[in-house]
Structure 1
Amino acid sequence: MEGIRLVLFDLDDTLLYFDDYWKRSMYESFESYPLTQGIGMDRLFPVFLEKDELFHEQWLSGVIDGGEFRRLRFIHTLAEFNISTGAEEAEAFERWFWTVRAPYIPHDPLLIERLKRWGEVYQLGILTNGTSEDQYDKLRRMGLDGLFTKSNVFVSDELGTAKPKPDAYRITASRMGFKPVETLFVGDSWMNDVIGPMQAGMRAVWLNRGNKPVPDEPVPEAVIGHLEELEHLLLHKMNN
């Protein structure tokens, strides 16, 4: 595993575990938001989860972008209760959600220390699908905004392309001054963080938190269940 100089990470469900904050803070956001607090969460939240899944699939398939995904799931949820809203109301709710979720996003000193150690050996970066304002807010809440800045964070809405398109990975590596062959990608999505990077000429480590069955092809450098398992790989195995 010689020759790796750049390590790129996915953000959601890799550096930041979605289940740590999302459902609980989203529920609280709807429960407390003036426009929705009177509907009743036993009625509203199942509808929202249904719309979230529907439009998330459209986002993953490239039909809509991350901003449209967040707006549409809100607008269509409220439409089920005969409440007419548009982009302005959806954006206002999203900002309410960011405020509510803030205390739920973990500030993990151990993660910060690990990333600092890895950063002494490799250049580090993030390639993530989403909207810039949202992703930078997460990094700030996590205490990672000192390690990851505009120079080494690449968000699909700014990049103009998204994972798993090969150019998303190649552009990111190039802007950081590296070739794909010098790059290791680490993430939880088999399609976005293993197949996509490897098709672009990178190597990959799959973060398989749920112990899902490992597909036969392609073969990543490693499959890990927890991010801390990357320590041995990066600081020992890859330098031997």
Structure 2
Amino acid sequence: MKTVIFDVDDTLYDQLQPFKNAVMERLDHPFSPQEIASLYLASRKYSDEVFEKHMNGEISALELQTYRITKACDEFGLILSQEEAIAFQHTYLLQQQQITLLADIEILLHRLDEQGKQIAILTNGEQNHQMMKVNQLGLERWVQKDNIFVSGAIGHSKPSPEVFQHIEDKLQLDKEETVYIGDSYENDIVGAKQAGWKAIWLNHRQRKINDQKWQADYSVDHTSHLLSIFN
């Protein structure tokens, strides 16, 4: 592979940890660790449900953020007021400002950089918010600024073909020599395979997809397995 492109959320860092910290600080409910993980997955589901509305300008970022945690909590019989949902999001944002790279990912980035690979980032989300995470993770050590792509700035989001075509044009990619690594089957694997790229599904949440129309070239459940693949 000449080019390796990474997703950000729950691929380069553990997105569950800042979420868990926000839940423990803000939600008055005795969640077990397993329930927090389920709550997190539910919030991701509801986020994806309205993400295109946010991209189209129909709802604000805050409306998306409060919607996803409110709807996720509904599944556990916990009713959040708008003020409580906003307070949760504020705490969650503060926790996101303390994220760190997963250890195996940092090793992999070093190796790819030493091998002269072209490294890029493709992430869904609002430009400033996602760039805050990119900066917090220190990705500029391996990724050139022009190789960082955020859907909010592009005007299209994964898995739409337009966002992958945009990156192909900008980086002059060879599809056969490009691999995308991400945690979302629907956004990352489907999008990359539709574009004709190679794809690695980092499925460390052990999700079960019954109808996998598009198959990842590799599916791994731990970041250490990524090191084995690239070795």
TM-score calculated relative to the size of structure 2: 0.73
- 1:140 and 2:138 equivalent? no
CA distance in 2, matches of 1:146, 1:131: 22
- Where structure 1 has 5 or more consecutive residues not aligned to the other structure, the ranges are 32-40, 84-89, 236-240
Identity %: 27
Q: Verify the 8 A CA contact 2:120 2:143 in the aligned structure 1.
A: yes
Q: CA deviation at 1:42?
A: 2.6
- 1:21 and 2:24 equivalent? no
SS where residue 112 of structure 2 aligns?
helix
CA spacing shift, 1:128–1:209, aligned 2, 3 Å: same
Q: Verify the 8 A CA contact 2:10 2:183 in the aligned structure 1.
A: yes
Q: CA deviation at 1:72?
A: 0.7
SS where residue 21 of structure 1 aligns?
helix
What one-letter code is carried by the residue in structure 2 that aligns with 1:234? F
Over aligned residue pairs, what C-alpha RMSD do you find? 3.5
CA distance in 2, matches of 1:156, 1:195: 16
Alignment counterpart, residue 163 of structure 1, candidates 147, 158, 161 = 158
CA distance in 2, matches of 1:21, 1:202: 31
SS where residue 57 of structure 1 aligns?
helix
Q: Show the counterpart of 1:129.
A: 124
- Where structure 2 has 5 or more consecutive residues not aligned to the other structure, the ranges are 71-79
CA distance in 2, matches of 1:133, 1:193: 21
Q: CA deviation at 1:189?
A: 1.2
TM-score calculated relative to the size of structure 1: 0.71
Q: Show the counterpart of 1:70.
A: 61
Q: Verify the 8 A CA contact 2:13 2:101 in the aligned structure 1.
A: no
Q: CA deviation at 1:66?
A: 9.3
Q: Verify the 8 A CA contact 2:101 2:137 in the aligned structure 1.
A: yes
CA distance in 2, matches of 1:65, 1:97: 21
Q: CA deviation at 1:22?
A: 1.8
Alignment counterpart, residue 181 of structure 2, candidates 157, 168, 186 = 186
Return 222-231 or 140-149, whichever deviates more: 140-149
Q: Verify the 8 A CA contact 2:19 2:92 in the aligned structure 1.
A: no
Alignment counterpart, residue 49 of structure 2, candidates 40, 57, 64 = 57
Deviation digits for residues 24-55 of structure 1, max 9, x if unmatched? Answer: 13653xx4xxxxxxxxx438x99x98888545
CA distance in 1, matches of 2:47, 2:229: 37
What one-letter code is carried by the residue in structure 2 that aligns with 1:57? E
Q: Show the counterpart of 2:191.
A: 196
What one-letter code is carried by the residue in structure 1 that aligns with 2:12? L
Deviation digits for residues 29-86 of structure 1, max 9, x if unmatched? Answer: xx4xxxxxxxxx438x99x988885454111xx2322984631146666xx7476xxx
SS where residue 64 of structure 1 aligns?
helix
Alignment counterpart, residue 117 of structure 1, candidates 105, 108, 111 = 111
CA distance in 1, matches of 2:45, 2:60: 10
What one-letter code is carried by the residue in structure 2 that aligns with 1:207? L
CA distance in 2, matches of 1:66, 1:14: 25
CA spacing shift, 1:52–1:217, aligned 2, 3 Å: closer
Deviation digits for residues 121-166 of structure 1, max 9, x if unmatched? Answer: 3211111101121112112222323223431110000111110011
Q: Show the counterpart of 1:224.
A: 220
Q: CA deviation at 1:227?
A: 2.0
CA spacing shift, 1:116–1:57, aligned 2, 3 Å: same
Q: Show the counterpart of 2:167.
A: 172
CA distance in 1, matches of 2:157, 2:202: 20
Q: Verify the 8 A CA contact 1:26 1:101 in the aligned structure 2.
A: no
